[in-house]
A = this chain, B = another copy of it.
């Protein structure tokens, strides 16, 4: 396992905005605060969701669209550089009114409500193309 000891930097508590995209809000916040490396956890609810599933054999993303209301239980992710933008890599578990669930890599979701904790690090994490997986990963 490749790893890097990091110094903890700023910490934030956030309330996501109703009607706005979940992930785009986190990325806009990261840009505004110039956060170059962070992990976050959050909970909330969304009124739709588009997830992506990475096909490990074809090495490409399939897209799943759900036009339903969900609780977000939880969202876990991190912030790092991907090309010339800050990217919030976000995995979520979503639940329906009967308790049933879906989960995956979050592309977009319209926030109903959301609460987030962000832990920034004194570091710059940057994603580069990884040959083996065809994903953008951190060389640590």
Task: Judge whether A138 and B71 touch: CB under 8 Å.
Answer: no
Task: Judge whether A117 and B73 touch: CB under 8 Å.
Answer: no
Partner pick for A119 among B16, B92, B117, CB 8 A cutoff: B117
Q: Which residues from B are CB-within-8-Å of A118?
A: 3
Task: State the majority secondary structure of interface residues on A.
Answer: strand
- Residue A72 is within 8 A (CB to CB) of chain B in the complex: yes
The bracket for how many chain A residues form the interface is 35 or more
| Contact indicator per residue, chain A 1-15, by CB within 8 Å of chain B (1) or not (0) | 111111110111111
Chain A residues in the interface with B (C-beta under 8 A)? 1-8, 10-18, 20, 25-26, 28-29, 37, 39, 41-43, 45, 47, 51, 53-57, 62, 64, 66, 69, 71-74, 76-78, 89, 91-105, 112-113, 115-119, 121, 123, 125, 130, 132-133, 135, 137-140
| Given A101-B103, A103-B101, A121-B11, also A17-B1 (CB < 8 A) | yes
